[in-house]
Amino acid sequence: MTKELGKNEIKQALDLANRVFSEFVAVDYSEQGNKSFSDYLKVKYEEVINDVQAGHKRIWGYYQNDEIIGVIATRDVSHIALMFVEKKYHKLGIARQLYNTVLTEIRKNEDITQVTVNSSPYAVAVYERLGFVKTDVKQEKDGIIYVPMKHTIRELSTTNSISLGTYRHYKGNRYEVTGFAIHSETLEDMVIYKAQYGDHGTWVRPLSMWENLIEVDGKKVKRFEKDIESEQTE
């Protein structure tokens, strides 16, 4: 069961975060980085309490038999500040359940188009399975090593960036966008499209991948470009 934590439960959640960090994340950090993270959890405990009470941060815990075994926190509504799951409960879908709870809350604000996180190197693969993509190379600040990532969550029905019609892939093949969907597990926006060659197979791709740029011969190009010429001849 996932529920939002109150003042009296936050220390237990932060203690969990510190334990999991020490075992799985700290190995990638310098001594300074480990101290920075520990200071954040210990020295700033009261500050975290104040931020939660003021609404700047929200923290959820995943409970089993009245024990917190997973925790996720957001800052400024749509930035993931931390997410940790106890070691013996890894790979049981708890991180996904925590994130889906947060995502449901974030989606209530129609002005928010993406969720961001500064992932530890260890957790990058976890966030990718949740629908996040890297937005920059690995960074370091105060000894903390992280990879900036984002998850595009805007509803396709309200965006004008992608419309039905024919598109050309940067490698040359044409595809027809036939519809849109939302992934049942990650709630990520998906594009449904059909090949205009070969067996005319139907495919599904995340919107974030459809819109991103690809480097070709040292230049940034769109993965898919609207094929205006093709549509004009139809």
Whether residue 160 is predicted with pLDDT greater than 50 in this model: the reply is no
Share of the chain above pLDDT 70, in %: 91
* Nearest CA among 114, 98, 96, 117 for reference residue 106: 114
Each domain of the chain, given as residue ranges in start order, spans 2-111, 156-232
Q: Return d(Cα 35, Cα 166) in angstroms, integer.
A: 53
CATH architecture of 2-111: 3-Layer(aba) Sandwich (3.40)
Q: In what order do the strands lie in the sheet with 202-206?
A: 202-206, 189-195, 174-182, 165-169, 224-226
CATH code of 156-232, in short, is 2.30.30.320
> Which tens digit of pLDDT belongs to each residue from 17-32?
888 988 888 777 778 8
The average pLDDT across 77-83 equals 94
Per-residue pLDDT, 158: 40
φ, ψ for residue 44 (rounded to 5)?
A: -100, 20
Which amino acid belongs to residue 193?
A: Y
The average pLDDT across 1-27 equals 88
Per-residue pLDDT, 182: 83
Per-residue pLDDT, 16: 93
Please report which confidence band the pLDDT of residue 52 belongs to, taking 50, 70 and 90 as the band edges: confident
Please report which confidence band the pLDDT of residue 161 belongs to, taking 50, 70 and 90 as the band edges: low
